[in-house]
Amino acid sequence: MIELEGVVERITYYNEENGFTVAKITVKDNDDLITAIGYFHCLEVGEVLKLRGNWTIHKDYGHQFKVEFYETIMPATVRGIENYLASGVIRGIGPTMAKKIVKEFGEKTLEVLSNSPEKLLSVPGIGEKKLKMITESYSQQQETRDIMLFLQEYGIGPNVAVKIYKNYKEKSIQILKQNPYRLADEVYGIGFKTADYIAQKMGMERDSMERLCAGLKYAVVKAADEGHVFMPLEELLYKASELLSVEKEPLNQAFLALEEKKDIVVERAWGREDVYLAAFYYSEKAVARRLFLLAAMIDEPLEITDETINEIEKCCNIRLAKRQREAIEKAAQHGVLVITGGPGTGKTTTIQSLLEFFKKQELKVALAAPTGRAAKRMVETTGVEAKTIHRLLEYNAYEQGGMAFGKNQDDPLDEDVIIVDEMSMVDIILMHHLLSAVRPGARLILVGDKDQLPSVGPGSVLREIIESDKIPVVVLDEIFRQAQESMIIVNAHRINKGYFPYINVKDKDFFFEQVLLPEDILETILEMTKNRLPNYGDFDPLEDIQVITPMKKGLVGVANLNDKLQFLLNPPSRRKKEYHYRACVFREGDKVMQIKNNYDKEVFNGDLGRIVRIDDEDVVIVSFADAWQEREVAYQGQEIEELSLAYALSVHKSQGSEFPVVIMPITTSHYVMLQRNLLYTAVTRAKKLIVLVGTKQALTIAIQNNRSLRRYGHLSDRIIDEFSQAIFRDGSI
């Protein structure tokens, strides 16, 4: 086995799921730049590594060093020190500042930081405020040194070490030695696989109770990530057994231990045993109960007459369809109402009419939506203030990355009517918080398209409320004449019914281009974005055109499309500053998406923005469009991991947004994701034009495949039980 030592210059590829990395490393002594491949955990540019492995030859990429073992050592050379400081480990120091500091102090840089930090004042750009930030951060780094050295034995880099230290401080090593699996529960950004990797390196037995409990809990969490509210017991044991490579028998004891600690709740009902994370169990029960209470405790029904409807039509300058009139009548009578319908069926007009009706009744109304972009659309279409659900509920961040809401059952919203749009995007946890904040007697109106993809979070809330058949539902099913002119809307409904769309109708807005090979599909999408569509309709490639794709991986997956589109639409330039984070380059002018809720910054998963500048301190400033205004949010150091490029989005991430032009690859290489509701959701993201690029075979497969994954959840059953018990007790509701 060969041993090398070198500095990480850049990370070409990093797989977050399993840690597989392709990195460029400058080898000590001869300065050769080599390609190293292997499984690294949170590798950072600037780290100095000692590698053990063997040379291999790849048929496409040539010589590569396959790493079997590695350890991190502190930098000793000027270049190593600069790269280390530039990695963002120390607040206030990025690539630009690192270069200045090392230019001033050379090999004595770390000594200056440790013993004479006041000397940094001689570096241009460092004043008293910046010095304090750097000194405090470096002091923290000194404190984390022991844990970093401790973790090096187990192949764990400084990025993870800092996260561990921030959580446990001086108790870090003690806790790791006792039970490294606590990391998966308690440290954001460290999952079970990383904790298991550390534990195995530390010699923990594969059948230890700590490992079995952590693996079982991870299997439930992973199911939640896939949208399930619970897991059937037998399926959970099977998945955990497979994950941990152990027999089912020893898992039974771990299962009982988790239940005793109340980390999980096991419900034995409906002839089955179902395993919940505690928060999901109590949320699902609470949602069903609150829906019943809101339905049962409504204030007096409001009077509505033909004259009332006529006045609404006159004020809104519209002619209401039969179902829209029904929606207003039921909103007047009931405490909870669901309004659902596809594109072009008048959901927006119905909301406007409801606003006018409640205004005449002198009732106070709140409009809300799950995302900032959806709330902004409500503002644009109604002219009335709308908020994200989080803002409506006055969220508050607290330590350990959690959140609480200012509005809840102890301090409910004072509005008389709450109208929530894009309900298909609301998961079970958010629904629980929303319902907790609606006062008894108030009205709740839920608007959404039941046929779109369900929420990213666990549950199928809208669908299960409708399926319960206990809450009044109005289905808007008439496509209005103006909407009938749009092939986007006509074809969305055809796709939803399982029919092949009308394609390439002259002077219309729905196009399909037959391209067979993924590499040719990629080139076609790039050419369309850059040249063909801007020339066809004067569309701006950055502002108007959005590429949406079913998959994350592959030639026409999110990751590769983002790389290619970034280079095409926002290429490197001396006039544009860049920030390198792992394998990603963020550049001034880039389209980006927030991929994690950040309650401190008031930005949420799915929010889209543009990088407006990167300052001399390597702070990345992103402009986000709020419901009412543009606002700027700053990201520094490891905070950048909350952003991803957004030239291409997954269909799931595009939910709640609309774009003038949508381009979507549709190929059999995305076979597992070719589903009718996914295609339907993608098509309905486009306002003016959609272009599908791929094969008719793939399009046909997607349309015919209506077997979307059924999420495990019992909300519908619980709603039925709540209403049934009320009838049993009282004889009536």
Length of the chain: 733
Picking from 198, 224, 333, 334, the residue whose alpha carbon sits closest to that of residue 277 is 224
348 is in an annotated binding site: yes
Cβ burial, residue 646 (10 Å; 0-12/13-18/19+): buried
Q: Is 56 annotated as a binding residue?
A: no
- 59 exposure class (CB count in 10 Å sphere: 0-12, 13-18, 19+): exposed
213 CB-near residues (< 8 Å, 6+ apart): 181, 254, 257, 258, 263
CA distance 137 to 123: 17
261 CB-contact burial (10 Å; exposed 0-12 / middle 13-18 / buried 19+): exposed
255: exposed, middle or buried (Cβ count in 10 Å: 0-12, 13-18, 19+): buried
Residues 6+ apart with CB under 8 A from 357: 304, 308, 312, 328, 331, 332
Question: What's the Cα-to-Cα distance from 92 to each of 165, 223, 598, rounded to whole Å?
Answer: 19, 39, 21
| DSSP symbol at 531 | I
Q: What is the CA radius of gyration of the chain?
A: 28
Please list, in sequence order, all residues whose beta carbon lies within 8 angstroms of the beta carbon of residue 158, skipping any fewer than 6 positions away: 44, 47, 72, 87, 89, 144, 148
b (16+ CB within 10 A) / e for 550-588: bbeebbbbbbbbbbbbbebbbeeeeeebbbbbbbbbbbb
HSE toward the beta carbon, residue 225, CA cutoff 13 A: 7
- Token reading at 700: 């046909």
Contact 22, 12 (CB under 8 A): yes
Q: Which of 30, 24, 86 is nearest to 49 (CA)?
A: 24
- The helix-helix angle for 461-468 and 715-730 (nearest 10°) equals 40
Rounded distance between C-alpha atoms, residue 49 and residue 68, angstroms: 13
Annotated ligand binding at 681? The verdict is: no
Burial code (b: 16+ CB inside 10 Å, e: under 16) for 414-435 equals ebbbbbbbbbbbbbbbbbbbbb
Is 345 annotated as a binding-site member? yes
- Phi and psi at residue 643, to the nearest 5°: -110, 150
Q: What are the distances in angstroms from CA 258 to CA 44, 183, 218, 229, 275? A: 35, 16, 12, 17, 11
List, as residue ranges, the binding site for ATP. Answer: 344-348
List, as residue ranges, the binding site. Answer: 344-348
